[in-house]
Structure 1
Amino acid sequence: MKILIVAATSFEIQPLLNAQILPYPIDTLITGVGMTQTAYTLGKHLALNSYDLIINLGIAGSFDRNLKIGEVVEVTEDRFAELGAEDGESFLSIEDLGFGVSVFRPIPFDNPPFYPPLLKKVNAITVNKVHGHEPNIAKLKNQHPDVDLESMEGAAVFLAANGQQIPSIQIRAISNYVEQRNRESWDIPLAIKNLNTVVLEWLSPL
């Protein structure tokens, strides 16, 4: 089995990059931050390489206060939340406009005994601009009431993986809540530590 681990920055997966205990052929791809860079870098890479599984790793902000800072979750649905058009106070998705798809779910990965870890499953949005202004946060939650967290890359990974018919898994750790920007309340080191601990336990020799 050949695996590709995709992350926006090496910082988010540094403990994994430092580990030398993985028994399978695993490549890593650092795409850079944002959906555009991710789609381009991953698409270019997949044009020349094939994999049995793509694992997208990273940190994220949570809209759901029931998720704890540092908690590790699996994203099973992601969407390009800004892809569409404004119509006064309303938002028209790309589906509403009839021009494409904004919601992506991964091709399931079912290969025992190599199952992914049992994590809470959540819905996410992928954005160009992380939210930090309460009126905009309220408006977005009204548009997408089932959203749990946001990142800047997740849906782009699902899009590229699905396009190549490759199963994928997105695992993220909560570094902060989506609120008026307050870095003092964030805990990026804890999120990165927990993310890498979960993934290393999963990928280590059975």
Structure 2
Amino acid sequence: MAQAFPGHGGFEVIAAGVGPALAAASTASALTAAALKGAPYGLVVSAGIGGGFQPEAPVGSLVVADGIVAADLGAETEDGFLPVTELGFGTVLHEPSADLVRRVAENAGARTGAVLTVSTVTGTAARAAVLRERHPTALAEAMEGFGVAEAAAAQGVPVLEIRAISNPVGPRDRAAWRIGEALAALTEGFGKLAPVLESWNRHDS
């Protein structure tokens, strides 16, 4: 889900869809439409549920991304995975305003760390270990943040990602998922963020 906050105040909630490609397309369409109407957005927030790396991000907690990372955008080689940046093009990281991240985390009682965007959800302990080794500051993984961030960056709009943890990253165990609990935590967290987000100005950073 992407939340886009117009520069003139207020906010809109957009169901951006599953995966980085659809999230990017939905966000870009909303940003373009708003700009053409003369009411461009001042901030885009990618918000939803995700997996948490244990024990740092337990189920039911909130994570605010200080880095939005494309964890599987690159190439597999005989020497291991290479991100596109090491191939000589593209980007794999968007860094939200540190001040905004701090203010949001403090108000919501959230943890801060990298949130990984993946096209395939992690389902094994081995894969989780690889991701943690590659991204030691990661607290969560989800499927949309980087796509939203790419669309926002293309139009010069600040971005933020907030995730409520619904399940541990690792072996796929549907019985361990707590989607309702995570959605409740996300709702409660956003209830505490209105003063921060409504006062945010793209020039504050």
Cα-to-partner distance string for 1:113-150 (whole Å, 9 max, x where unaligned) = xx535132111110000000222222232322332210
Paired residue secondary structure (1:75)? strand
Of 88, 91, 107 in structure 1, the residue corresponding to residue 78 of structure 2 is 88
| Corresponding position of 2:88 | 98
Tell me the TM-score normalized by structure 1: 0.80
- More helix as a share of residues: 2
- 2:126 is the alignment partner of 1:145: no
Of 176, 182, 194 in structure 2, the residue corresponding to residue 185 of structure 1 is 176
The Cα RMSD (Å) is: 2.2
Spell out the pairing of 1:125-140 with structure 2 (5 A cutoff): 125-140=116-131
Number of residues of Structure 1 aligned to a counterpart in Structure 2: 182
Paired residue secondary structure (1:137)? helix
Conservation of the 8 A alpha-carbon contact between 2:105 and 2:111: no
Q: What letter is aligned with 1:116?
A: V
Of 41, 65, 69 in structure 1, the residue corresponding to residue 26 of structure 2 is 41
Paired residue secondary structure (1:203)? helix
Conservation of the 8 A alpha-carbon contact between 1:75 and 1:123: yes
Conservation of the 8 A alpha-carbon contact between 1:109 and 1:168: no
Q: Describe the shift of the 1:201–1:36 C-alpha distance in structure 2 as closer, same or farther (beyond 3 A).
A: same
* Structure 1 unaligned regions, length at least 5: 7-23
Conservation of the 8 A alpha-carbon contact between 1:53 and 1:109: no
* Structure 2 unaligned regions, length at least 5: 35-39, 200-205
Deviation at 1:159, TM superposition (A): 1.7
Paired residue secondary structure (1:181)? coil
Tell me the TM-score normalized by structure 2: 0.80
Equivalent pairs: percent with the same residue? 30
Conservation of the 8 A alpha-carbon contact between 2:127 and 2:170: no
